[in-house]
């Protein structure tokens, strides 16, 4: 349970908010590289941390992320013309380059000196691992580019998708570090999803629905471990790294690719669920890629031309009561992504955490909230937040069997580090 002001602190990420200031100290995913594939191609609206921006790619292939609205009289530059190294407002022709600098005011002969002083807010945007990342914080504190393993492996080993989720980023992220719900909500997927099925670990997940949680700190965040009974008095551990502020990685299953998420606020009541799958040691197979495009695993099918899920709140997530009754799905909603999103959206745009009743299986969530609040408050006093150094991003999830007396964070130390070319530790 949180006090009202703690819930406010954690969930508000607009300009000037405590958590917003902290989010702005990290590189975060802004767009899929495929959204700005062509030079001088169509620009796209980007809403991030409650700011309205426009992303575009200029004639030289440079990426720009600038204020959505023209400095002249506030027209949305989504209507603009992307041409000759800049975005031109269609109202009176003012033109801006990728740095937000106004480079032309063609409607007035004497505007030359005047335009030099006109510059739209702009943030850097850089491609890495199929993602266009942005940094929206103070330029003096801009860290080196992120080095999460999914973004560093060769392109044929990694796949990224994103979908819009209609709720605050934190309640979506809290689902990402909550291993306990898998034994319930996703039990059908463990049996039938092509990107999950067939691993021995699934049996432990289904066989022991009362995991015991342990949490250990790492420099960028936490390792959240859920322990279930295995044979011979050993334990099956599923270990989820969480990196501040909102990167989570799901433990692997068998020889399947590994997956995880970024949960990025558009504004306080909506977030992007970024979803990646990669294998550190091999290319993804054609069948795996097809399954991901078909919305299997943690991905989802979206309305063509958008990143809005096909099953969404307007159609009750295609609820199938017969499938629910027959046990084909546990909640009646199909697919892991929308099983999660439907329930998280059902809590309302920002869940009231003053009314919750937490248990020991929520330990990871409690500790992550505490770490976020502590870091956000410390930043207000000038202490830089943890996890901005790319060296701290080189973590991995793991699924391992350990003897009963082992301490997970020590026994699985190697397995929890990104090791180029090495397969994940997985059961
Ligand atoms: S409003 Fe953009 S040029 Fe006038
Ligand atoms: Fe889930």
280-297 confidence digits (pLDDT tens): 999 999 999 999 999 999
Nearest CA to ligand 1 atom 3: 92
pLDDT, position 148: 98
Residue 328 beta carbon below 6 angstroms from any ligand 1 atom: no
Does ligand 1 come within 6 angstroms of the Cβ of 96? no
**What mean pLDDT comes out for the span 307-327?**
98
Q: Is 81 in the pocket of ligand 1 (CB under 6 A)?
A: no
The more confidently predicted of residues 112 and 391 is: 391
Q: How far is CA 229 from CA 205, 237, 365, 412, in A?
A: 9, 9, 22, 17
Instruction: Ligand 1, residue 74: give the atom nearest the CA.
Output: 1
Distances (CA, A) of 284 to 57, 158, 217, 291, 295: 29, 7, 31, 11, 16
Average pLDDT over the chain reads 96
* Model confidence, pTM: 0.96
Share of the chain above pLDDT 90, in %: 94
| pLDDT given at position 383 | 97
Taking only the tens place, the pLDDT of each residue in 183-234 is 899 999 888 999 999 999 999 988 888 999 999 999 999 999 999 999 999 9
Neighbours of 370 (CB within 10 A): 12
Torsion of CA 260, 266, 267, 270, to 10 degrees: -60
- Residue 113: the pLDDT is 82
Answer whether 96's CB lies under 8 Å from 87's CB.
yes
Residues 335, 312: Cα–Cα separation, whole Å? 12
Given a cut of 80, whether residue 377 has pLDDT beyond it is: yes
Q: Does the C-beta of 111 come closer than 6 Å to ligand 1?
A: no
In this structure, what token pair is assigned to residue 250?
A: 């799901």
Nearest ligand 1 atom to the CA of 93 is 3
Residue 77 alpha carbon, nearest atom of ligand 1: 2
Ligand 1 pocket, residue 71 CB under 6 Å:
no
| Distance between Cα 318 and ligand 2 center (Å) | 18
Nearest ligand to the CA of 172 is 2
Q: Is 307 in the pocket of ligand 1 (CB under 6 A)?
A: no
CA of 70 to the centre of ligand 2 (A): 41
- Contact between 397 and 221 under an 8 Å Cβ cutoff? The reply is no
Which ligand lies nearest to the CA atom of residue 72 in the structure? 1
Confirm or reject: Cβ of 133 under 6 Å from ligand 1.
Answer: no
- The reply to whether omega before 86 is within 30° of 0 (cis) is no
47 touches ligand 1 (CB under 6 Å)? no
Check if the beta carbon of residue 310 is closer than 8 Å to that of residue 163: no
Stretch (H or E) spanning 102: strand 102-104
Tell me, what's the pLDDT at 179?
A: 85
Residue nearest to atom 4 of ligand 1 (CA): 92
Local confidence band at 254 (pLDDT 50, 70, 90 cut-offs):
very high
Mean pLDDT within 103-128: 91
User: CA-to-CA distance for 199 and 321, rounded, in angstroms?
Assistant: 28
- The number of the ligand 1 atom at minimal distance from the alpha carbon of 105 is 3
Ligand having the closest approach to the CA of 71: 1
- Name the residue of 66, 89, 111 whose CB sits within 8 Å of the most ligand 1 atoms, as the mutation to test its pocket: 89
Mean pLDDT of 79-101: 98
User: With 80 as the cut, is the pLDDT of residue 176 above it?
Assistant: yes
Q: Rounded to the nearest 5°, which phi and psi values hold at 351?
A: -65, 145
- Which residue's CA is the nearest one to ligand 1's atom 1? 73
Question: Among 68, 70, 71, 79, which residue has the most ligand 1 atoms within 8 Å of its CB, making it the best to mutate?
Answer: 70
Residue 111 in this model has a pLDDT that exceeds 80? no
- Taking the CA of residue 107 as reference, the ligand 1 atom at the shortest distance is 3
Task: Tell me, using a 6 A CB cutoff, whether residue 73 lines ligand 1.
Answer: yes
Q: Is the CB of 337 under 6 A from ligand 1?
A: no
Ligand 1 atom closest to residue 92's alpha carbon, by position in its atom list: 3
């Amino acid at each position: 349970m949180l006090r009202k002001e703690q819930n406010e602190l954690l969930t508000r990420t607009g300009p000037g908010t405590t958590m917003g200031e902290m989010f702005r100290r990290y590189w975060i995913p802004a767009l899929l590289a495929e959204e700005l594939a062509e030079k001088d191609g169509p620009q796209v609206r980007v809403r991030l941390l409650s700011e309205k921006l426009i992303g575009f790619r200029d004639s030289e292939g440079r990426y720009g992320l600038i204020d959505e609205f023209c400095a002249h009289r506030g027209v949305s530059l989504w209507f603009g013309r992307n041409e000759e190294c800049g975005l031109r407002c269609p109202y009176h022709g003012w033109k801006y380059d990728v740095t937000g600098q106004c480079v032309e005011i063609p409607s007035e002969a004497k505007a030359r000196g005047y335009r030099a002083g006109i510059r739209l807010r702009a943030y850097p945007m850089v491609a890495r691992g199929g993602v266009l990342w942005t940094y929206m914080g103070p330029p003096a504190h801009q860290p080196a580019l992120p080095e999460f393993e999914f973004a560093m492996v060769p392109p044929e080993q990694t796949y990224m998708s994103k979908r819009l989720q209609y709720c605050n980023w934190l309640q979506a992220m809290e689902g990402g570090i909550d291993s306990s719900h898998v034994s319930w909500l996703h039990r059908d997927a463990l049996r039938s999803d092509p990107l999950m099925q067939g691993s021995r670990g699934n049996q432990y997940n289904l066989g022991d629905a009362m995991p015991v949680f342990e949490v250990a700190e790492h420099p960028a965040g936490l390792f959240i471990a859920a322990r279930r009974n295995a044979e011979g008095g050993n334990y099956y551990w599923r270990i989820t790294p969480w990196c501040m502020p909102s990167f989570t990685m799901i433990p692997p299953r068998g020889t399947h690719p590994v997956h995880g998420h970024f949960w990025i606020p558009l504004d306080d009541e909506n977030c992007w669920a970024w979803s990646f799958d990669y294998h550190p040691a091999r290319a993804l197979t054609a069948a795996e890629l097809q399954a991901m495009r078909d919305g299997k695993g943690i991905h989802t099918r979206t309305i063509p031309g958008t990143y809005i899920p096909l099953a969404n709140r307007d159609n009750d997530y295609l609820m199938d009561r017969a499938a629910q009754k027959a046990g084909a799905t546990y909640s009646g909603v199909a697919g892991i992504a929308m099983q999660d999103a439907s329930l998280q959206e059902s809590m309302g745009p920002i869940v009231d955490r003053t009314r919750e009743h937490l248990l020991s299986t929520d330990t990871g969530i409690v500790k992550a909230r505490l770490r976020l609040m502590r870091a956000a408050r410390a930043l207000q006093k000038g202490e830089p937040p943890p996890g901005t150094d790319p060296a701290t991003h080189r973590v991995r999830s793991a699924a391992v069997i350990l003897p009963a007396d082992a301490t997970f964070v020590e026994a699985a130390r190697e397995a929890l580090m990104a090791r180029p070319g090495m397969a994940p530790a997985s059961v």
